[in-house]
Structure 1
């Protein structure tokens, strides 16, 4: 790994991500490079594909839901090239590990809408709730129950009554009741998983202090 290229990349990313120290950014870049496992390519030209990233979400952050893991991938993948580059990796982790309430709010909303129009539609709510509810009853009974849940959700969160949830709707609802942040499924890691990841990623920094 070229030290000059690494230093330049650390500087560039540190200027856009304020929640990590430069030493931590360097550790995350090194970890990314290790995970990609391709030492013969430039640092700014490699990435994690969806399967590799899902493996990280599962093994490190304890996520198990296939649909939500895919959605988290797309929320990390800002340039929509089906690959998470090193900058997207660090920026995404800054929200995952140390995001402010506002950053997490925006991240969850991005995870929950799929079609890129900036709204969570009735159909998307139905699909997400159906995915998260594993009921032993028949599919027909389950669908009817979910439709009722969708109606209740829209009644609670659709402030402008247009049949879909905008970011303004989502923000207002979550600020009034924070438990609604992950209302359509867990897309943020638990605190313990975050601490475990930081202990792994930043262990060289921690050991050098003693």
Structure 2
């Protein structure tokens, strides 16, 4: 990408992403370009695949759980094309590192529950166990008793008990790893 193209991209990302300032976005774009240059996948040049993403999160944050890494990859890869673009990278890291509680809660309940199921009986339809878990969660979390789990219901439940964000497996790096990553990339202590 030309210098002009990079500048336009950085300007656009700085306007659209409220988590990072311009110099931080520039650092993240440079890191992305470095990672893509190392990638030897079909996506090299446009982004990086699940393997490169896993390697990056492992080295940056010490994340090793395959289920968690797949979950985080799915959150970053918003267009579900199997590749993380520079925009998905910067916006995903924005939420991962500096997102508000609301942003971190905005994950599909069904998908989180589905990913948390480790073993399903062979004679049971795969999504049957998920439906059972959703029903249990709904009963516990449906504060307005309307038979639906709204984001407001979920938010109230998580605000009352923050550990519920990790109930189906942690998908956020620990604070020490996050600070270390930011110091390494941005050269300063995060705000």
- Structure 1 length normalisation: TM-score? 0.71
2:155 is matched with 171
1:18 is matched with 18
Deviation at 1:155, TM superposition (A): 3.9
2:166 is matched with 182
Q: 2:177 is matched with which residue: 186, 193, 210?
A: 193
Please tell me whether the aligned partners of residues 67 and 115 of structure 2 are also in contact (alpha carbons under 8 angstroms): no
Q: Distance in 2 between matches of 1:68 and 1:170?
A: 21
Deviation at 1:70, TM superposition (A): 0.7
Q: Distance in 1 between matches of 2:115 and 2:87?
A: 31
1:51 is matched with 51
Deviation at 1:101, TM superposition (A): 1.4
1:125 is matched with 113
- Structure 2 length normalisation: TM-score? 0.77
Q: Matched residue of 2:12: which SS?
A: helix
Q: Distance in 2 between matches of 1:65 and 1:76?
A: 16
Instruction: Provide the aligned C-alpha RMSD in A.
Output: 2.8
List gaps (5 residues or longer) in structure 2. 40-44, 122-128
Q: Matched residue of 2:61: which SS?
A: coil
Per-residue CA distance 1:23-42 (angstroms, 9 max, x = gap): 00000000000001169xxx
List gaps (5 residues or longer) in structure 1. 40-44, 115-123, 134-138, 140-145
Deviation at 1:200, TM superposition (A): 1.7
Q: Distance in 2 between matches of 1:52 and 1:65?
A: 15
Deviation at 1:73, TM superposition (A): 0.6
Please tell me whether the aligned partners of residues 71 and 115 of structure 2 are also in contact (alpha carbons under 8 angstroms): no
